[in-house]
A and B are shown apart, each in its own frame.
Chain A
């Protein structure tokens, strides 16, 4: 067991003893032999291939379908830890929605001087088209993914808010299915809270956000860019599990003041559109005129209250990493409470003093693009060469507004099954949160992403990360 003394390992304490949440799992593990576990790993991979749980790759190998590596050691969270996370996430998501409502209406938070005007007005994710609009049910972010990292026994921090179209929930569900298929006896031994009803909860939550014109059973559809999108599997999976239609832009048009889909029997209106298409492509008449993925005129119908779009256009501004740095203020401003979940300390390079500090400590920091995602375009100081750090400093000086910086965190580890046996690897956690006028609903667990390379801190699947089944234990 080689684990770095600097990082908190979630399974083993420093003295090598197993932590309480993992006790049941560890006991089961002792009764298994390594060879048969390895065989199970191969089985799991062929299972994923057979069922087509793949993601498409952009760039060099475009068109190829790949698997996200799956690791068989679960990531386990105790009931007690989860309760605290739930409180923190609820508080944060409530604040996010209040913030979005505010910046698209009176902008009280700007008037109060808590968030600078330019961060809103000059932000590409801010959509003037949404100003003054009353969104159905007052909900902006129907589905949110909050990325959490851990640095100690009681230290969970929010690394990122995904308020546009968080992906990965299908892996949360399929990872559990796979674990239950491979090790059924494990689940009779350890009591794990189920995640399988997420699609039903999603369908219910979306239906509760239907516009006033919808009937008793609102029609929900999932809008996908199509089979070549990297997350197509997930779009099809969720539509299938919800019993909703999976539509593409070419299936939709405006008919009699509603957005309608072309069925074998004519056009039928849609009440709630769970769109997995970016804002910019949603409506060629309002946004990118070259878009073929959206629906011409959908924004007019939306404004007139004829459809619910989930998530609402313009929520991307809450994903923004510069806005992220203000989240503690945002939470306090709208909830009147101190944040339950801390932010990772963040330097805004747009501020002169901060920039100076960041440049001085660049080799120890993680620097991210304000609008970036997927682990692209970032610098991880400690693992970069001197030359790369120097080159990044140039970029930083040229466009400081474009970057934020954070200390390199000692992310917690959970063991994976490596060739040599259990080996600790860094992880994060993305719980999935549903918001409707009826309340906030958080599925116990989420997606654990794991950096498979020893020492690596990058967990993104596009950068060689894998996933784990994430367990929340019953009380």
Chain B
């Protein structure tokens, strides 16, 4: 497999995952804003943009006015925003197009269709009444690509590089959501019980599609510590950091098995994985939640960079 092809498959997956995560984050922000007065709602929208690392660019374009409709249109479709969902879907499709020979026809068609459907859905500004539908369409298209990918791809190097892209991106995204909310939520870790913070926590769960799973596991009680544990360390939840690390591990070792040797990326991943296996939520809070998340984001990036180098993504 060509290094450039591995690179294209990897980025296709990252962009798709990012588009879906952005849609989920907007959905959670929208729900939060509905339960707030106008100025608090603006705070919510600001926090969504901050999580996505786009606050600077947004303010450069529109100033500090975080009106909801402006924010979600900026995040979904603004031409001035190279990180909009539409731009991400386009980037995913361009990457898929450049590596068509590495994908099954069905995967390619699913991505091409996602692009056609969403380009159409995002052709005009999205009004409040249509936002729910648009976000659902983004999630559904991403799900269809994932489904055809799962159902038709040979489990070989192509598959592994694509999945590595998915889980690098997903781990990074969950970590960033937690890290932004962490400041808001910090007091409630000691001082449990305020209903406002419960809403905040629920919104965090919602932005990673984890509210139902968490409630089901915890018989409906909202406990900040439990939620942090769920999102960081639960190996069963498909958007937790630990789950992403496990998946990276299995895909990286799939490559080692196919190629007959390990690389720098395997070393890095092994130590990250060991750390997750031996960490309890008590230890995380003792040494600092923020520090833990920052360390994860950095380690995750190092794995990504090692993969790019080890497998000759660039000339």
| A227 and B98 contact, Cβ closer than 8 Å, known pairs A51-B112, A265-B259 | yes
Determine the chain A residues whose CB is within 8 A of the CB of B311 once the complex forms: 264-265
A250:B101 contact, CB within 8 angstroms: no
Taking a contact as CB atoms closer than 8 A, the residue among B5, B97, B113 that contacts A227 in the complex is B97
Q: How distant is the Cα of A264 from the Cα of B8 in the complex, in angstroms? A: 12
B108 within 8 Å of A by Cβ? Answer: yes
Taking a contact as CB atoms closer than 8 A, the residue among B6, B97, B101, B105 that contacts A245 in the complex is B101
Closest-CB distance, B104 to chain A (whole angstroms): 10
A263:B3 contact, CB within 8 angstroms: yes
Closest-CB distance, A19 to chain B (whole angstroms): 37
B259:A248 contact, CB within 8 angstroms: no
B100:A236 contact, CB within 8 angstroms: yes
A251 within 8 Å of B by Cβ? Answer: yes
B130 within 8 Å of A by Cβ? Answer: no
In residues 233-257 of chain A, which contact B (Cβ within 8 Å)?
236-237, 239-240, 245-248, 250-251, 253
B116:A49 contact, CB within 8 angstroms: yes
Determine the chain B residues whose CB is within 8 A of the CB of A261 once the complex forms: 2
Contact with A along B1-41 (1 / 0, CB 8 A): 11111100000000000000000000000000000000000
Q: How distant is the Cα of A246 from the Cα of B1 in the complex, in angstroms? A: 10
Q: How distant is the Cα of A266 from the Cα of B309 in the complex, in angstroms? A: 11
| A52 and B315 contact, Cβ closer than 8 Å, known pairs A251-B3, A262-B2, A263-B3 | no
Closest-CB distance, A275 to chain B (whole angstroms): 16
Taking a contact as CB atoms closer than 8 A, the residue among B4, B6, B101, B315 that contacts A236 in the complex is B101
Tally of chain A residues near chain B (CB < 8 A): 24
Q: How distant is the Cα of A248 from the Cα of B315 in the complex, in angstroms? A: 11
Most chain-B CB neighbours within 10 Å: which of A248, A253, A263?
A263
Which of under 10, 10 to 19, 20 to 34, or 35 or more describes the interface residues of B?
Answer: 20 to 34
A166 within 8 Å of B by Cβ? Answer: no
B157 within 8 Å of A by Cβ? Answer: yes
B98:A264 contact, CB within 8 angstroms: no
B229 within 8 Å of A by Cβ? Answer: no
Contact with A along B81-124 (1 / 0, CB 8 A): 00000000000001001101100010011001100100000000
Q: How distant is the Cα of A266 from the Cα of B3 in the complex, in angstroms? A: 8
B312 within 8 Å of A by Cβ? Answer: yes
A226 within 8 Å of B by Cβ? Answer: yes
In residues 19-60 of chain A, which contact B (Cβ within 8 Å)?
49-52
| A247 and B2 contact, Cβ closer than 8 Å, known pairs A51-B109, A52-B108, A236-B101 | yes
What DSSP secondary structure best describes chain B's contact surface?
A: helix
Closest-CB distance, B132 to chain A (whole angstroms): 26
Q: How distant is the Cα of A236 from the Cα of B108 in the complex, in angstroms? A: 12
A262:B315 contact, CB within 8 angstroms: yes
B1:A264 contact, CB within 8 angstroms: yes
Determine the chain B residues whose CB is within 8 A of the CB of A52 once the complex forms: 97, 108-109, 112
Q: How distant is the Cα of A241 from the Cα of B5 in the complex, in angstroms? A: 17
Closest-CB distance, B266 to chain A (whole angstroms): 14
Most chain-A CB neighbours within 10 Å: which of B1, B94, B100, B315?
B100
Determine the chain A residues whose CB is within 8 A of the CB of B112 once the complex forms: 50-52
Most chain-A CB neighbours within 10 Å: which of B5, B108, B311?
B5
Closest-CB distance, A68 to chain B (whole angstroms): 17
Q: How distant is the Cα of A250 from the Cα of B105 in the complex, in angstroms? A: 25
Determine the chain B residues whose CB is within 8 A of the CB of A247 once the complex forms: 2
Q: How distant is the Cα of A206 from the Cα of B108 in the complex, in angstroms? A: 27
| A266 and B2 contact, Cβ closer than 8 Å, known pairs A49-B116, A52-B97, A246-B101 | no
B100:A50 contact, CB within 8 angstroms: no
Q: How distant is the Cα of A93 from the Cα of B4 in the complex, in angstroms? A: 37
B4:A248 contact, CB within 8 angstroms: yes
Determine the chain A residues whose CB is within 8 A of the CB of B108 once the complex forms: 51-52
B3:A264 contact, CB within 8 angstroms: yes
Most chain-B CB neighbours within 10 Å: which of A52, A247, A264, A266?
A264
A264:B116 contact, CB within 8 angstroms: no
Determine the chain B residues whose CB is within 8 A of the CB of A248 once the complex forms: 4
| A264 and B157 contact, Cβ closer than 8 Å, known pairs A49-B116, A50-B109, A250-B315 | yes
Contact with A along B293-315 (1 / 0, CB 8 A): 00000000000000000011001
A240:B109 contact, CB within 8 angstroms: no
Q: How distant is the Cα of A232 from the Cα of B94 in the complex, in angstroms? A: 12
Q: How distant is the Cα of A245 from the Cα of B5 in the complex, in angstroms? A: 9
Closest-CB distance, A5 to chain B (whole angstroms): 45
A263:B109 contact, CB within 8 angstroms: no
Determine the chain B residues whose CB is within 8 A of the CB of A250 once the complex forms: 4, 315
B2:A240 contact, CB within 8 angstroms: no
Determine the chain B residues whose CB is within 8 A of the CB of A49 once the complex forms: 116
B97:A240 contact, CB within 8 angstroms: no
Determine the chain A residues whose CB is within 8 A of the CB of B94 once the complex forms: 227
Contact with A along B253-264 (1 / 0, CB 8 A): 000000100000
Q: How distant is the Cα of A385 from the Cα of B310 in the complex, in angstroms? A: 64
Contact with A along B145-165 (1 / 0, CB 8 A): 000000000000100010000
| A245 and B2 contact, Cβ closer than 8 Å, known pairs A50-B113, A265-B259 | yes
Contact with B along A151-169 (1 / 0, CB 8 A): 0000000000000000000
Having A51-B112, A52-B112, A265-B312, one finds 6 other A-B pairs with CB under 8 Å, namely: A49-B116, A227-B94, A245-B5, A250-B4, A251-B315, A264-B6
Interface residues in chain A, defined as those with a beta carbon under 8 Å from any beta carbon in chain B: 49-52, 226-227, 232, 236-237, 239-240, 245-248, 250-251, 253, 261-266
What are 27 of the A-B contact pairs (CB < 8 Å)? Answer: A49-B116, A50-B109, A51-B109, A227-B98, A232-B97, A236-B100, A236-B101, A237-B100, A239-B101, A245-B101, A246-B100, A250-B4, A251-B2, A253-B315, A262-B2, A262-B3, A262-B312, A263-B2, A263-B312, A264-B1, A264-B6, A264-B157, A264-B161, A264-B312, A265-B259, A265-B312, A266-B312
Closest 4 CB pairs of A and B: A264-B311, A236-B100, A240-B101, A262-B3
